[in-house]
Protein backbone atom coordinates (compact mmCIF):
# COMPACT_ATOMS: atom_id res chain seq x y z
CA UNK A 1 0.00 0.00 0.00
CA UNK A 2 2.82 2.37 0.91
CA UNK A 3 4.61 1.70 -2.38
CA UNK A 4 1.36 2.05 -4.32
CA UNK A 5 0.55 5.41 -2.70
CA UNK A 6 4.08 6.65 -3.40
CA UNK A 7 3.68 5.76 -7.08
CA UNK A 8 0.43 7.77 -7.19
CA UNK A 9 2.10 10.77 -5.56
CA UNK A 10 4.94 10.45 -8.07
CA UNK A 11 2.40 10.14 -10.94
CA UNK A 12 4.36 7.01 -11.90
CA UNK A 13 1.74 4.94 -13.65
CA UNK A 14 4.13 2.15 -14.76
CA UNK A 15 5.18 1.49 -11.15
CA UNK A 16 1.59 1.64 -9.88
CA UNK A 17 0.51 -0.97 -12.45
CA UNK A 18 3.57 -3.13 -11.68
CA UNK A 19 2.70 -3.09 -7.94
CA UNK A 20 -0.85 -4.19 -8.76
CA UNK A 21 0.51 -7.04 -10.91
CA UNK A 22 2.96 -8.12 -8.18
CA UNK A 23 0.13 -8.18 -5.63
CA UNK A 24 -1.87 -10.47 -7.94
CA UNK A 25 1.18 -12.66 -8.63
CA UNK A 26 1.71 -12.98 -4.86
CA UNK A 27 -1.79 -14.35 -4.40
CA UNK A 28 -3.92 -11.31 -3.50
CA UNK A 29 -7.39 -11.78 -4.98
CA UNK A 30 -8.63 -9.33 -7.65
CA UNK A 31 -11.34 -8.24 -5.16
CA UNK A 32 -8.74 -7.46 -2.52
CA UNK A 33 -6.54 -5.57 -4.98
CA UNK A 34 -9.46 -3.31 -5.90
CA UNK A 35 -11.16 -2.82 -2.53
CA UNK A 36 -8.10 -2.87 -0.22
CA UNK A 37 -5.51 -1.14 -2.40
CA UNK A 38 -6.82 0.68 -5.47
CA UNK A 39 -10.00 2.25 -4.04
CA UNK A 40 -8.45 3.45 -0.73
CA UNK A 41 -5.43 4.73 -2.69
CA UNK A 42 -7.66 6.66 -5.08
CA UNK A 43 -9.79 8.06 -2.26
CA UNK A 44 -6.75 9.20 -0.37
CA UNK A 45 -5.50 11.09 -3.44
CA UNK A 46 -8.86 12.47 -4.49
CA UNK A 47 -10.03 13.27 -0.95
CA UNK A 48 -7.42 16.06 -0.89
CA UNK A 49 -8.89 18.97 -2.76
CA UNK A 50 -6.89 20.50 -5.60
CA UNK A 51 -7.97 23.93 -4.34
CA UNK A 52 -6.31 23.19 -0.95
CA UNK A 53 -3.06 22.51 -2.81
CA UNK A 54 -2.85 19.08 -1.18
CA UNK A 55 -2.73 17.27 -4.50
CA UNK A 56 -2.12 18.39 -8.05
CA UNK A 57 -4.46 17.88 -10.97
CA UNK A 58 -2.10 15.31 -12.50
CA UNK A 59 -2.01 13.28 -9.25
CA UNK A 60 -5.80 13.46 -9.03
CA UNK A 61 -6.23 12.43 -12.64
CA UNK A 62 -3.69 9.61 -12.60
CA UNK A 63 -5.10 8.01 -9.43
CA UNK A 64 -8.52 7.88 -11.04
CA UNK A 65 -7.22 6.69 -14.41
CA UNK A 66 -5.32 3.80 -12.81
CA UNK A 67 -8.36 2.88 -10.70
CA UNK A 68 -10.48 2.81 -13.84
CA UNK A 69 -7.99 0.72 -15.83
CA UNK A 70 -7.31 -1.79 -13.06
CA UNK A 71 -11.01 -2.12 -12.24
CA UNK A 72 -11.95 -2.77 -15.88
CA UNK A 73 -9.22 -5.41 -16.12
CA UNK A 74 -9.91 -7.18 -12.81
CA UNK A 75 -13.72 -7.25 -12.62
CA UNK A 76 -13.93 -10.17 -15.10
CA UNK A 77 -11.57 -12.08 -12.76
CA UNK A 78 -13.82 -11.73 -9.67
CA UNK A 79 -14.87 -15.07 -8.20
CA UNK A 80 -18.51 -13.99 -8.47
CA UNK A 81 -19.92 -11.11 -10.52
CA UNK A 82 -19.85 -7.92 -8.43
CA UNK A 83 -23.16 -6.35 -7.40
CA UNK A 84 -23.71 -3.29 -9.60
CA UNK A 85 -24.42 -0.31 -7.34
CA UNK A 86 -26.30 1.61 -10.00
CA UNK A 87 -26.32 2.59 -13.66
CA UNK A 88 -25.22 6.08 -14.60
CA UNK A 89 -24.86 8.15 -17.75
CA UNK A 90 -22.34 10.98 -17.44
CA UNK A 91 -21.05 13.73 -19.70
CA UNK A 92 -19.98 17.35 -19.87
CA UNK A 93 -22.68 19.91 -20.58
CA UNK A 94 -23.32 21.31 -24.03
CA UNK A 95 -20.66 23.82 -25.11
CA UNK A 96 -18.25 22.68 -22.38
CA UNK A 97 -14.95 21.02 -23.39
CA UNK A 98 -13.57 20.55 -19.85
CA UNK A 99 -13.45 16.76 -19.46
CA UNK A 100 -10.94 16.09 -16.69
CA UNK A 101 -13.25 16.42 -13.68
CA UNK A 102 -15.83 14.14 -15.29
CA UNK A 103 -13.16 11.58 -16.16
CA UNK A 104 -12.03 11.46 -12.51
CA UNK A 105 -15.62 11.00 -11.35
CA UNK A 106 -16.01 8.17 -13.87
CA UNK A 107 -12.91 6.41 -12.51
CA UNK A 108 -14.21 6.66 -8.92
CA UNK A 109 -17.63 5.35 -9.87
CA UNK A 110 -16.26 2.41 -11.90
CA UNK A 111 -14.03 1.39 -8.99
CA UNK A 112 -17.11 1.56 -6.74
CA UNK A 113 -18.96 -0.88 -9.06
CA UNK A 114 -21.28 1.55 -10.79
CA UNK A 115 -22.00 0.84 -14.44
CA UNK A 116 -21.14 4.00 -16.34
CA UNK A 117 -21.72 5.24 -19.86
CA UNK A 118 -19.42 8.19 -20.49
CA UNK A 119 -20.83 10.36 -23.28
CA UNK A 120 -17.73 12.57 -23.39
CA UNK A 121 -17.69 16.34 -23.65
CA UNK A 122 -20.05 18.90 -25.24
CA UNK A 123 -23.11 16.68 -24.86
CA UNK A 124 -26.53 17.84 -26.06
CA UNK A 125 -29.26 17.58 -23.39
CA UNK A 126 -31.36 15.30 -25.60
CA UNK A 127 -28.43 12.85 -25.81
CA UNK A 128 -28.23 12.53 -21.99
CA UNK A 129 -31.88 11.46 -21.83
CA UNK A 130 -31.70 9.18 -24.89
CA UNK A 131 -28.61 7.41 -23.49
CA UNK A 132 -30.21 7.03 -20.06
CA UNK A 133 -33.21 5.34 -21.67
CA UNK A 134 -30.99 3.13 -23.87
CA UNK A 135 -28.89 1.92 -20.92
CA UNK A 136 -31.59 1.85 -18.23
CA UNK A 137 -29.68 4.46 -16.21
CA UNK A 138 -31.09 5.53 -12.87
CA UNK A 139 -28.95 8.66 -12.72
CA UNK A 140 -27.73 11.25 -15.24
CA UNK A 141 -24.58 13.15 -14.24
CA UNK A 142 -23.80 16.48 -15.91
CA UNK A 143 -20.40 18.08 -15.39
CA UNK A 144 -19.99 21.81 -16.07
CA UNK A 145 -16.80 23.73 -15.57
CA UNK A 146 -18.04 27.12 -16.69
CA UNK A 147 -20.82 29.22 -15.20
CA UNK A 148 -22.53 29.76 -18.54
CA UNK A 149 -22.57 26.04 -19.45
CA UNK A 150 -23.92 25.17 -15.96
CA UNK A 151 -26.76 27.68 -16.26
CA UNK A 152 -27.51 27.76 -20.02
CA UNK A 153 -30.79 26.63 -21.55
CA UNK A 154 -28.92 23.73 -23.22
CA UNK A 155 -27.37 22.50 -19.95
CA UNK A 156 -28.83 20.63 -16.94
CA UNK A 157 -31.96 22.84 -16.98
CA UNK A 158 -32.91 21.39 -20.35
CA UNK A 159 -32.17 17.84 -19.15
CA UNK A 160 -34.60 18.47 -16.27
CA UNK A 161 -37.23 19.81 -18.67
CA UNK A 162 -36.89 16.75 -20.93
CA UNK A 163 -37.21 14.39 -17.94
CA UNK A 164 -40.31 16.27 -16.81
CA UNK A 165 -41.89 16.39 -20.30
CA UNK A 166 -41.32 12.66 -20.81
CA UNK A 167 -42.62 11.70 -17.35
CA UNK A 168 -39.23 10.27 -16.34
CA UNK A 169 -38.52 12.21 -13.14
CA UNK A 170 -39.32 9.29 -10.81
CA UNK A 171 -37.20 6.88 -12.86
CA UNK A 172 -34.14 9.00 -13.56
CA UNK A 173 -32.45 11.38 -11.13
CA UNK A 174 -30.14 14.25 -12.15
CA UNK A 175 -26.85 15.06 -10.41
CA UNK A 176 -24.46 17.87 -11.35
CA UNK A 177 -20.89 18.73 -10.49
CA UNK A 178 -18.04 21.03 -11.42
CA UNK A 179 -16.41 24.20 -10.16
CA UNK A 180 -19.41 26.62 -10.50
CA UNK A 181 -21.45 24.64 -7.94
CA UNK A 182 -18.75 25.07 -5.29
CA UNK A 183 -19.18 28.83 -5.24
CA UNK A 184 -22.95 28.91 -4.97
CA UNK A 185 -24.48 26.22 -2.78
CA UNK A 186 -27.99 26.49 -4.24
CA UNK A 187 -26.93 26.57 -7.88
CA UNK A 188 -27.62 22.85 -8.30
CA UNK A 189 -31.26 23.46 -7.42
CA UNK A 190 -31.49 26.48 -9.70
CA UNK A 191 -30.37 24.36 -12.67
CA UNK A 192 -32.95 21.67 -11.81
CA UNK A 193 -30.67 18.98 -10.35
CA UNK A 194 -31.63 16.63 -7.52
CA UNK A 195 -28.13 16.68 -6.01
CA UNK A 196 -24.52 17.70 -6.52
CA UNK A 197 -21.14 16.52 -5.23
CA UNK A 198 -18.10 18.72 -4.65
CA UNK A 199 -15.48 16.07 -5.41
CA UNK A 200 -15.19 12.76 -7.21
CA UNK A 201 -14.55 11.11 -3.82
CA UNK A 202 -18.01 12.22 -2.65
CA UNK A 203 -19.81 11.39 -5.90
CA UNK A 204 -20.39 7.64 -5.29
CA UNK A 205 -22.28 8.24 -2.00
CA UNK A 206 -24.39 11.03 -3.52
CA UNK A 207 -25.24 8.88 -6.54
CA UNK A 208 -25.94 5.80 -4.39
CA UNK A 209 -28.51 7.87 -2.45
CA UNK A 210 -30.24 8.84 -5.71
CA UNK A 211 -30.24 5.22 -6.94
CA UNK A 212 -31.88 4.21 -3.66
CA UNK A 213 -34.64 6.81 -4.17
CA UNK A 214 -35.33 5.52 -7.70
CA UNK A 215 -35.45 1.88 -6.55
CA UNK A 216 -37.83 2.58 -3.63
C1 LIG B 1 -7.84 22.55 -17.63
C2 LIG B 1 -8.69 23.75 -18.04
C3 LIG B 1 -8.98 23.90 -19.39
C4 LIG B 1 -8.57 22.87 -20.45
C5 LIG B 1 -9.53 21.68 -20.38
C6 LIG B 1 -8.81 20.37 -20.73
C7 LIG B 1 -9.70 19.17 -20.52
N8 LIG B 1 -9.46 18.15 -21.32
O9 LIG B 1 -10.57 19.13 -19.65
C10 LIG B 1 -8.73 23.71 -21.77
C11 LIG B 1 -7.39 24.35 -22.11
C12 LIG B 1 -9.24 22.97 -22.99
C13 LIG B 1 -9.68 24.84 -21.32
C14 LIG B 1 -10.41 25.60 -22.21
C15 LIG B 1 -11.19 26.69 -21.81
N16 LIG B 1 -11.34 27.18 -20.56
CO17 LIG B 1 -10.66 26.28 -18.97
N18 LIG B 1 -9.90 25.73 -17.37
C19 LIG B 1 -9.16 24.69 -17.06
C20 LIG B 1 -8.80 24.75 -15.55
C21 LIG B 1 -7.36 25.25 -15.44
C22 LIG B 1 -8.93 23.46 -14.78
C23 LIG B 1 -10.28 22.73 -14.92
C24 LIG B 1 -10.10 21.34 -14.37
O25 LIG B 1 -9.86 20.38 -15.12
N26 LIG B 1 -10.12 21.23 -13.04
C27 LIG B 1 -9.77 19.98 -12.34
C28 LIG B 1 -10.94 19.12 -12.06
C29 LIG B 1 -10.47 17.77 -11.48
O30 LIG B 1 -11.72 19.71 -11.07
P31 LIG B 1 -13.24 19.87 -11.29
O32 LIG B 1 -13.41 20.03 -12.74
O33 LIG B 1 -13.84 20.85 -10.38
O34 LIG B 1 -13.86 18.43 -10.96
C35 LIG B 1 -14.06 17.91 -9.67
C36 LIG B 1 -15.40 18.28 -9.04
O37 LIG B 1 -15.93 19.50 -9.51
C38 LIG B 1 -16.27 17.09 -9.29
N39 LIG B 1 -17.04 17.02 -10.53
C40 LIG B 1 -16.75 17.45 -11.77
N41 LIG B 1 -17.68 17.12 -12.65
C42 LIG B 1 -18.62 16.43 -11.98
C43 LIG B 1 -19.81 15.84 -12.41
C44 LIG B 1 -20.62 15.20 -11.49
C45 LIG B 1 -21.90 14.59 -11.97
C46 LIG B 1 -20.23 15.14 -10.13
C47 LIG B 1 -21.11 14.48 -9.15
C48 LIG B 1 -19.04 15.72 -9.69
C49 LIG B 1 -18.25 16.35 -10.62
O50 LIG B 1 -15.35 16.00 -9.28
C51 LIG B 1 -14.13 16.41 -9.88
C52 LIG B 1 -12.99 15.64 -9.27
O53 LIG B 1 -12.91 15.79 -7.87
C54 LIG B 1 -9.85 25.81 -15.01
C55 LIG B 1 -9.35 26.70 -13.86
C56 LIG B 1 -9.37 26.02 -12.54
N57 LIG B 1 -8.29 26.19 -11.81
O58 LIG B 1 -10.35 25.35 -12.20
C59 LIG B 1 -10.14 26.64 -16.27
C60 LIG B 1 -11.51 27.29 -16.43
C61 LIG B 1 -12.60 26.30 -16.03
N62 LIG B 1 -11.57 27.55 -17.87
C63 LIG B 1 -12.17 28.67 -18.17
C64 LIG B 1 -12.35 29.17 -19.48
C65 LIG B 1 -12.97 30.56 -19.60
C66 LIG B 1 -11.97 28.41 -20.61
C67 LIG B 1 -12.11 28.83 -22.08
C68 LIG B 1 -13.40 29.57 -22.46
C69 LIG B 1 -10.86 29.66 -22.41
C70 LIG B 1 -10.86 30.29 -23.80
N71 LIG B 1 -10.99 31.61 -23.82
O72 LIG B 1 -10.79 29.60 -24.79
C73 LIG B 1 -11.99 27.47 -22.81
C74 LIG B 1 -13.38 26.84 -22.92
C75 LIG B 1 -13.51 25.83 -23.95
C76 LIG B 1 -14.88 25.19 -23.83
N77 LIG B 1 -15.80 25.50 -24.70
O78 LIG B 1 -15.08 24.42 -22.90
C79 LIG B 1 -12.65 29.39 -16.91
C80 LIG B 1 -14.16 29.34 -16.68
C81 LIG B 1 -14.68 30.66 -16.13
C82 LIG B 1 -16.10 30.66 -15.73
N83 LIG B 1 -16.35 31.42 -14.69
O84 LIG B 1 -16.97 30.05 -16.24
C85 LIG B 1 -11.75 28.72 -15.80
C86 LIG B 1 -12.39 28.70 -14.39
C87 LIG B 1 -10.41 29.52 -15.78
C88 LIG B 1 -10.58 30.96 -15.29
N89 LIG B 1 -10.29 31.22 -14.03
O90 LIG B 1 -10.96 31.82 -16.01
N91 LIG B 1 -9.68 24.95 -19.96
Count of domains observed in the chain: 2
- Tell me: the pLDDT tens digits for 149-202? 999 999 999 999 999 999 999 999 999 999 999 999 899 999 999 999 998 888
d(CA 76, CA 97): 32
**Cβ(76)–Cβ(93) under 8 Å?**
no
Torsion of CA 51, 16, 13, 35, to 10 degrees: -60
Please tell me whether residues 103 and 138 are part of one structural domain.
yes
Show Cβ contacts of residue 202 under 8 Å, excluding neighbours closer than 6 positions: none
Please tell me whether residues 210 and 158 are part of one structural domain.
yes
Cβ(97) – ligand 1 distance below 6 Å: yes
Cβ(159) – ligand 1 distance below 6 Å: no
Give the per-residue pLDDT at 70: 85
Cβ(141) – ligand 1 distance below 6 Å: yes
Please tell me whether residues 70 and 94 are part of one structural domain.
no
Please tell me whether residues 178 and 73 are part of one structural domain.
no
**Cβ(60)–Cβ(108) under 8 Å?**
no
Q: Which residue's alpha carbon is at the smallest distance from atom 56 of ligand 1? A: 179
d(CA 26, CA 156): 47
| Ligand 1 centroid – CA 46 distance (Å) | 17
Please tell me whether residues 44 and 128 are part of one structural domain.
no
Give the per-residue pLDDT at 61: 82
Torsion region of 53: left, alpha or beta (phi above 0 gives left; psi -120 to 50 gives alpha) = left
Cβ(49) – ligand 1 distance below 6 Å: no
Which of 77, 106, 123 is the last residue in one of the domains? 77
- Tell me: the pLDDT tens digits for 95-112? 999 988 898 899 889 888
- Tell me: the pLDDT tens digits for 10-30? 888 899 899 999 999 999 998
Measured over the CA atoms of residue 144, residue 147, residue 148 and residue 152, the dihedral's sign is positive
For residue 51, the domain's CATH number is 1.10.1240
Please tell me whether residues 125 and 54 are part of one structural domain.
no
Give the per-residue pLDDT at 193: 98
Show Cβ contacts of residue 207 under 8 Å, excluding neighbours closer than 6 positions: 86, 88, 109, 114, 139, 141, 175, 197
Please tell me whether residues 119 and 187 are part of one structural domain.
yes
Please tell me whether residues 93 and 61 are part of one structural domain.
no
Please tell me whether residues 183 and 201 are part of one structural domain.
yes
Give the nearest ligand 1 atom to 178 CA.
Answer: 37
For residue 147, the domain's CATH number is 3.40.50.280
Tell me the residue range of the domain where 27 lies. 2-77
Cβ(86) – ligand 1 distance below 6 Å: no
Amino acid sequence: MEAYLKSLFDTDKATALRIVQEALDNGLTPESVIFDVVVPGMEQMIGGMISDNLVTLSQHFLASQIAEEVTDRLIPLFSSAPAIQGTVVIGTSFGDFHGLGKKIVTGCLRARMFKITDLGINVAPERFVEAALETGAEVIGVSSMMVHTATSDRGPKKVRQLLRDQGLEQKIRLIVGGAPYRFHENLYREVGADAWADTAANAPAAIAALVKEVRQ
